[in-house]
């Protein structure tokens, strides 16, 4: 098997497995879940932004495209995810939010499936450029998936879903990541997919800045705000440390 294809398949399978993290909500108390969830969201935001700025944008600028093309693709990636959320009225919703209704559960699954499909396309595009870049991009995406899957599973259960069915369908929606990766690999034989790197950077910037940071930036307690900022900084620092470690 082509090593790049092997990495794409492995990353897709592992991303789908992350959907099972939602089962942790079955053994954690509400207080414990909320204690770890928001720091994880902050860490994911830092990882996504660090991955976009330290890894993906530099590669996009070195790929031979003009600066205008690169920045246009970043904005396109940002706009696509903004439009997706606007169209589906999809948002992150945690177990403590009593306003979540059953119809929203279907929107969450559809939105998550589309989100993962686009993510699979984008991450596979980075593997096709450089396997090391693909690994870093996958790690940043995975950091985001953990708190998202915890929240999504909680919403499905509170929306009336049986727990095993919620886990199963959550995993099905995550499998679209693998589908997107395989389509990107197949398309790479006819198309130059370098454009997916800055496009994915725009996805990451949107998710980190517009989706995740608003969830943690206005906590009532100063101590909690400090913890969230430290977690965010740790995510950024991790991506910077990987960047420095990979440089010759």
Q: Where are the beta strands (DSSP E) in the chain?
A: none
- Tell me what pLDDT residue 224 has: 84
Query: What's the pLDDT score for residue 103?
Result: 57
87 pLDDT tier (thresholds 50, 70, 90) = confident
Can you give the pLDDT at residue 162?
79
Q: Which residue, among 202, 187, 205, has the nearest Cα to 73 in the 3D structure?
A: 202
Quickly count: other Cβ atoms within 10 Å of residue 3's Cβ: 9
What's the pLDDT band for 248 if we cut at 50, 70, 90? low
What's the pLDDT at 138?
Answer: 92
Highest mean pLDDT among 157-161, 216-220, 238-242: 238-242
pLDDT tens-digit series, residues 20-79 = 887 776 677 767 777 787 888 888 889 989 989 998 898 888 877 888 999 999 999 999
Number of H helices, E strands in the chain: 11, 0
What was the pLDDT predicted at 102? 55
- The per-residue pLDDT for range 130-183, each reduced to its tens digit, is 999 999 989 988 888 787 777 677 667 766 787 778 888 888 888 999 999 999
pLDDT recorded at residue 158: 63
Average of pLDDT values for 220-230? 85
Q: What is the dihedral of CA 221, 223, 224, 226, to 10 degrees?
A: 120
Instruction: Report pTM.
Output: 0.75
Residues 6+ positions from 186 with CB-CB distance below 8 Å: none
DSSP 28: S
What pLDDT is recorded for position 192? 84
Question: What three-state secondary structure class fits 95?
Answer: coil
Q: What size, in residues, is the chain?
A: 248
DSSP state at residue 160: T
- What single string gives the DSSP state of each residue in 120-150? HHHHHHHHHH-HHHHHHHHHHHHHHHHHHHH
pLDDT digits (tens, 9 = 90+) for 89-106: 544 444 444 444 455 567
Measured between alpha carbons, how far is 6 from 11 in angstroms, rounded to an integer? Answer: 8
- Evaluate whether 134 touches 11 at the Cβ level (below 8 Å): yes
């Amino acid at each position: 098997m082509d090593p790049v294809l092997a990495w794409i398949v492995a990353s897709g399978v592992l991303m789908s497995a992350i959907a099972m993290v939602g089962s942790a909500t079955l053994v954690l108390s509400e207080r414990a879940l909320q204690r770890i969830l928001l720091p994880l969201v902050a860490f994911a935001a830092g990882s996504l932004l660090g991955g976009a700025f330290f890894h993906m944008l530099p590669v996009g600028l070195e790929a031979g495209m003009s600066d205008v093309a690169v920045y246009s693709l970043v904005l396109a990636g940002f706009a696509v995810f903004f439009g997706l959320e606007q169209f589906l009225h999809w948002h992150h919703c945690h177990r403590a939010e009593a306003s979540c209704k059953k119809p929203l559960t279907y929107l969450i699954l559809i939105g998550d499936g589309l989100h993962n499909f686009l993510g699979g396309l984008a991450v596979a595009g980075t593997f096709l450029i450089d396997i090391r870049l693909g690994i870093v991009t996958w790690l940043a995406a995975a950091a985001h998936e953990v708190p998202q899957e915890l929240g999504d599973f909680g919403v499905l259960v509170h929306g009336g879903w049986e727990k095993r069915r919620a886990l199963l369908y959550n995993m099905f929606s995550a499998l679209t990541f693998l589908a997107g990766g395989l389509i990107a690999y197949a398309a790479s034989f006819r198309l130059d997919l370098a454009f997916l790197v800055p496009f994915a950077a725009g996805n990451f910037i949107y998710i980190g800045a517009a989706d995740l940071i608003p969830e943690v930036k206005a906590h009532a307690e100063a101590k909690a705000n400090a913890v969230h900022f430290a977690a965010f900084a740790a995510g950024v620092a991790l991506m910077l440390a990987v960047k420095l470690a990979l440089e010759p």
